[in-house]
Amino acid sequence: MENTAAKKVMLSGIQPSGDLHLGNYLGAIKNWVARTDEFDNYYFMADMHTITVRQNPADLRRRTLEQLAQYIACGLDPEKNTLFIQSHVHQHAELGWVLMCYTMFGELSRMTQFKDKSSKHKENVNGGLFTYPSLMAADILLYQPDFVPVGEDQKQHCELTRDVAQRFNSIYGDVFKVPEPYIPKAGARVMSLTGPDTKMSKSIPEGCVFLMEKPEDIMRKFKRAITDCDTENCVRFDLANKPGVANLMSIYAAVTGKSYEEIEREFEGCGYGKFKPAVGEAVVEALRPIREETERLLKDKAYLEGVYRSGAEKAEYVANKTLRKVYKKIGFVAR
């Protein structure tokens, strides 16, 4: 077995509340794969977080298993990364309750995602929607990670996690490692194809490219992608003045490995009519092996079950050590 004792610990998860898309892959999962040998990694399907918004049970089960298969198809080797389903490790819920009692009401009130989601789901502004940052803190702190890879929109949650950890440690001693946010430089934000001022999201499906989408549908979306209302019609990276073109160039660079300068030279004098289909074709080819491998894995239910069972066993072993320490510190009687 590979020695991971000297490795730093990294942890992250994605909610199976919708199908994984190009933004998830380029902004997160591709970076996770690149760090496989550098860190001791824990990656999970955050199914407990999804139920702050009502879910169809059958769809949630399907998406959770699809997400696991897609993690593997994207290159996350289960032999080198701990892959598990959040609800299979009961310590998440248990530490989540404890940390809720060490998270201030005012801190939760300031969370921008609560404000955003409560405005979108006015008929279901539940307690979980308000307190889930405490569960997120538990997700992180259970594994004593050194780093948490987060997008810019998740920095607020990471800062809250650090505040809660420091508050707990100030009362009970050195219980939690205070993790650092890990923000990758490249591919961190993939914007919507229909509105480059907003992040690619499953909630705007026309501007979102899903990993399991048919090639012809991907091509249609790229051909219709917003470029820019300028007269020069040239492929040039200018985030301020040409955000649509800059977004397409960023995607093309991420899937081909080419620099912006190389892309500008490649499409010099070509205009958007040739550039947009070229980006679409590059994305189709990048996603083809992922889609085909995911479809193959989903037919092998026994293999996927073996992956999530062994992942949960390893995660639970590590999580339980943290939870037992916490329970002892706050005065719970040992089982």
Q: Pick the catalytic residue from 199, 221, 242, 276.
A: 199
* Nearest CA-CA partner of 321 in 180, 178, 179, 176: 176
CA distance 288 to 286: 6
Widest CA span in the chain: 73
Query: Of 7, 80, 202, 314, which one is the catalytic site residue?
Result: 202
Based on the residue annotation, tell me whether 117 is a catalytic residue of this protein. Answer: yes
Which listed residue (7, 8, 80, 117) is catalytic? 117
- 199 is an active site residue: yes
Distance CA 142, CA 14 (A): 17
According to DSSP, the β-strands at 147-149 and 81-85 are unpaired
Which amino acid, 145? P
DSSP three-state, residue 76: coil
- Enumerate residues 6+ apart whose C-beta is below 8 A from 76: 29, 32, 33, 36, 41, 43, 83
Whether 325 is catalytic is no
Q: Which residues are catalytic?
A: 117, 199, 202
